[in-house]
Chain A
């Protein structure tokens, strides 16, 4: 079956760095997406990886290892506004997104 695993909740300190991991199992693979979702709002797109390696975009970076079925989202210089849920989603061979349950990130001063 198809499955996405990510931690339910993480806590980090303002100004620090946090890494949110995601493992996936899909029928075929067409890339891995990360979305940010603030409470009561719709998700917003953060990053997309389809090749192995690190994609950097400002304070946020995303890494993919296709052989390991593994990705992580790295957030640097954490700000209070980064408190949100982070959703990992893998696209299968039918271009369908398989969503993880999301990781709630709590930032403390």
Chain B
């Protein structure tokens, strides 16, 4: 089955530093990847849609200069949280849909738990 690998699984960083999270589709190509954030006991919140070879589309209220997304290949998207603050502490989850399959289940990475101290 389709596998999405997300790394790291967890990270602790100091306030003001930047953190990069990688999302890879291991056995399929993904033109589009999605980045979600989930706070405790809340549902998934879509942050941005990452498109290979073009700029990401950010949801309303998500700062594109703070959450940098790069989708340089059909199997890799990265999310960089710049100048992280404690309020950025959350569970970040990426997902991907196989290229050419608009109506298909999203395959999720295992998530990254970010703690900013």
B110 at the binding interface (Cβ < 8 Å): yes
B108 at the binding interface (Cβ < 8 Å): yes
Other-chain contact of B105, A41, A48, A95, A102 (Cβ < 8 Å): A48
Residues of B within 8 A of A (CB): 6, 42-44, 46, 91, 93, 102-103, 105-111, 113
Interface residue count on the A side (C-beta < 8 Å): 19
Other-chain contact of A42, B42, B103, B111 (Cβ < 8 Å): B111
Other-chain contact of B113, A40, A44, A97 (Cβ < 8 Å): A40
A64 at the binding interface (Cβ < 8 Å): no
- In the complex, A99 Cα to B44 Cα: how many Å? 7
Main secondary structure of the interface of A (DSSP, over half): loop
Q: Given contacts A31-B103, A50-B103, could you give 18 more A-B pairs where the C-beta distance is less than 8 Å?
A: A30-B103, A33-B106, A40-B111, A41-B111, A42-B6, A42-B108, A43-B44, A43-B108, A44-B108, A45-B106, A45-B107, A87-B44, A91-B103, A97-B46, A97-B106, A99-B44, A99-B46, A101-B43
Give every chain B residue within 8 A of A30 (Cβ-Cβ): 102-103
Give every chain B residue within 8 A of A45 (Cβ-Cβ): 105-107
Distance of B9 from chain A, by nearest CB (Å): 10
**Sorted from nearest, which 4 A-B pairs have the closest CB atoms?**
A42-B108, A45-B105, A101-B43, A95-B102
